[in-house]
A and B are shown apart, each in its own frame.
Chain A
Amino acid sequence: MRILAIVTQVPGAEERLKVAEGRVDLGASKLVIDTMDEYGVEAALRLREAGAEAEIIVLGIGPERVEATLRGALALGADRAVLVEAGGTDTALDVLAVSKVIADVAKREQVDLVLCGAQQADTDSHALGAAVAERLGWAQATWVTALKLDGSTLTGRHDVDDGAESFLLMLPAVVTAQQGLNEPRYPTLPNIMKSRKKELRREPLSSFNAAPKLRVVKQEMQARERLQRMIPSGDPQAAAVELLRALREEAKVLA
């Protein structure tokens, strides 16, 4: 079988973001694999280690710099990589356009399982997995926290609105990963060496019929002014009284 794991390159969570001319400018940011995608790559590796005979392909969509993140995934143990070169315009593709590229690669590569993060930390989108599943006509399990594969039967656990569910579904399927699914490994030196020789195939975005339906008009940093008023805590009783007074009389959020 084949597993396709999606790799998104995003700014590290603690990175300071910069906006220039109404667009987030990642030029100076340290870019890393999206944490949730990392859980997906790890899940693919673990399914194989648990006995699934699987080839693991990692797919990245974006400019040249995405190669570094794909190499990182190869160093973790993925077999080969596909980079769909989208120039510097990776953020101009909306999630539905990205899902078109992924679904097309999944078809061309005849994969049985697509894994991706439940939410991407750049677009804050939750839609990728489900959009890919719909394009492929496959079932989906989102926000998965446990995953097992037995033949072509997937079982696992995932979060829903009012709690959690255990599920069973048949391949082919799309699964979205999140925190709790696993603890991603670190690459070992021999694997980093080996990863340099692994196949990384480039494909131009133009070979996919993927156009965004949404225009980004502008992006701006949120500058929400907070009062940042510190209440002296020397006397906890006095602090409590003052805090409740402020919440009632100034903020008017307490009755």
Chain B
Amino acid sequence: MILVVAEYANGRLSKSTRELVSAARACGVEGQVAALVLGSGVGTIAGEAALLAEQVLVADRVELATYDAELWAAAVAQIAREGEAALVLIAAGRGGREYSPRVAVKLEAPLIEDAVSLKHEAGTLRAERYSFLSRVTETLETDADVVIATMKPGAYVPAEALAEAGEQFDVELELPVRRLHVTERQSAHSGWVPLTEADIVVAGGRGVGSAESFEQLVVGLADKLHAAVGATRAVVDAGWRPYAEQVGQTGVTVQPKLYIAVGISGAVQHLSGMNKARTIVAINKDGDAPIFSVADYGVAGDADAIVEALKSALG
């Protein structure tokens, strides 16, 4: 079996989960695709997952109402062991990236992080991933009986629903006690488009000028395009934008269809978070900025005038 750990947000299955199912179906590992749904009050999520996976394993428990790395790792490892999973697929978000290593250690299995492709042939699983701040593509191999892989968001096209819903099973779990106690939670505001799920990202850098112009230009253009808003580290450090919007090595990695960089010079740490976008547009005053060398379309000029013109052209 291939075990896919379902992710969800705001009561809906995430796009990343459908991408994991695509990877599971395409990778060549034999066996059914089983989705594991962990949480509390996750009936709707399990129903959604049943349209994607042949089997849905549901652990609906109060203790799982909020994410915890040790709880998630224990649950996934137990289910993978009991189901004799050959492959465990986890979305490479912050959570997946921090509990997957624990699953791998528990199962003494290899861990492939942020895979962009997976192919199983003649007993060998071959994966591609990026390294050196996404400047290098590396190919990895393993012959292990069970492999844990986190999948980079955007690497696979989200899976289509099955004609027939998969079967749902409740699973019993032995869970450890939480050791990381959350004393306060600061969530991103509602209505926010998660960066990693967005088809279009409009991002701004220091070249935008000020927090006010960022709101006016970057957020304004994003609204017109129904896009998510991204920012560089410099902008977040300056306090113009929240950390959740930071794209790059210390922020999130995005792979949208369209990435519009406004007033971003293109430091390698930023590029590593967005250089896999299908199409990149750069708008920057300095025509020599490194961002133009990774852009498909560049406009060297005053960001203010160009973005305002874009906004009015979009109506």
Contact = CB atoms under 8 A, between A and B. Distances in A.
Interface of A: 11, 13-14, 17, 19, 24, 36, 94-96, 99, 118-119, 121-131, 133-135, 139-143, 145, 155, 159-170, 178-180, 213-222, 224, 226-231, 233-234, 236-237, 239-241, 243-244, 246-247, 251, 253-254
B122 interface: no
B130 interface: yes
Given A164-B244, A220-B137, 14 more contacts: A96-B101, A126-B113, A127-B97, A130-B100, A134-B106, A139-B180, A162-B188, A167-B180, A214-B112, A224-B275, A227-B295, A233-B306, A247-B279, A251-B297
Q: Is the interface of A mostly helix, strand, loop or mixed?
A: mixed
A30 to B, nearest CB: 14
Top-3 shortest CB links A-B: A233-B301, A213-B110, A240-B309
A170 B305 CA distance: 54
Given A24-B136, A239-B309, A139 B67 contact: no
Contacts of B302: 233, 236
Contacts of B126: 217
B240 interface: no
A163 B293 contact: no
A219 B138 contact: yes
Contacts of A230: 287, 292, 298-300
Q: Is the interface of B mostly helix, strand, loop or mixed?
A: mixed
Contact of B132 (A17, A127, A130, A227): A17
7 contacts: A94-B111, A127-B100, A140-B70, A166-B182, A222-B136, A243-B297, A254-B200
A134 B70 CA distance: 9
B310 interface: yes
Taking residues whose C-beta sits less than 8 angstroms from the other chain, chain B's interface range is 35 or more
Interface in B84-107: 92-95, 97-102, 104-106
Interface in B47-71: 67, 69-70
B32 interface: no
B139 A119 contact: no
Contact of B102 (A130, A159, A229): A130
Nearest to B96: A161
B18 interface: no
B132 A161 contact: no
Nearest to B250: A179
Contact of B292 (A122, A123, A167, A228): A228
B262 interface: no
B113 A244 contact: no
B135 A254 contact: no
Contact of A219 (B131, B134, B181, B183): B131
B313 interface: yes
A142 B186 contact: no
B308 A236 contact: yes
A208 to B, nearest CB: 15
Contacts of A251: 258, 278-279, 296-297
